[in-house]
Amino acid sequence: VDVSKAEFKVVDSCITSEDGSFDFHPNLIYKGFYNIDVGKTGAQFATLILEAGDTIHFSGNAKNLGYTWKAEGSKEVKRFADLNDFIMGLETKRQPYKEKLDSLQRAFQVEVSLLPKNDSVKVDSLDKIFSAIYESTQAQLQVVETQGAGFVRKFIDEDSSSFANIPALRLLEPF
């Protein structure tokens, strides 16, 4: 499925009260992925798994909804919220290693550019130094990613029929 070409259809809308709270009752026919979108740009949204009859309690910061939402009220909403929390935590753990790897690449390129042309001895020396640090950092990142893959596999095994497994399976692609 090419998600970039997915068509979205509005199933309900509402205006928030002064304190930012809202209440709406969409007439859902199908269990599926639904976005709660705030604002007019479509850039601030949270995705939930909903089905007919669900009563959900939802909260988040409208300025950063995609990263701050919390929801409860059904098994699918809870599982998807747990998965979202895991993804945020995993990315927080991965980020320092990714930044270090990017910095090492940039630093190596700068150092090589400052060397006299055709000085292969110094380039090889720099390459050995940077490669050792780079490989060590990659190994540390791999540990975090392996732990993440373990969580995802366990998550999927806990309830093999859950819709939350669809995005969970996509997480296994980089592992």
Please check whether residue 62 is in contact with residue 39, taking contact to mean a CB–CB distance below 8 angstroms.
Answer: yes
Contact criterion met (CB below 8 Å) for 48 and 77: yes
Rounded to whole angstroms, the Cα distance separating 135 from 8 reads 43
Instruction: Please tell me the predicted confidence (pLDDT) of residue 1.
Output: 45
pLDDT of 128 over the 50 cut: yes
Mean pLDDT value across residues 10-21: 84
Strands (E), the chain: 32-38, 44-50, 57-59, 70-72
Average pLDDT score, the chain: 89
Q: Are 164 and 49 in contact (CB under 8 A)?
A: yes
Q: From CA 105, how far away is CA 99, in angstroms rounded?
A: 10
Partners of residue 45 on adjacent β-strands: 37
pLDDT at 13 over 90: no
- Please state, for a pLDDT cut of 90, what percent of the chain lies above it: 62
Average pLDDT (19-23) is: 85
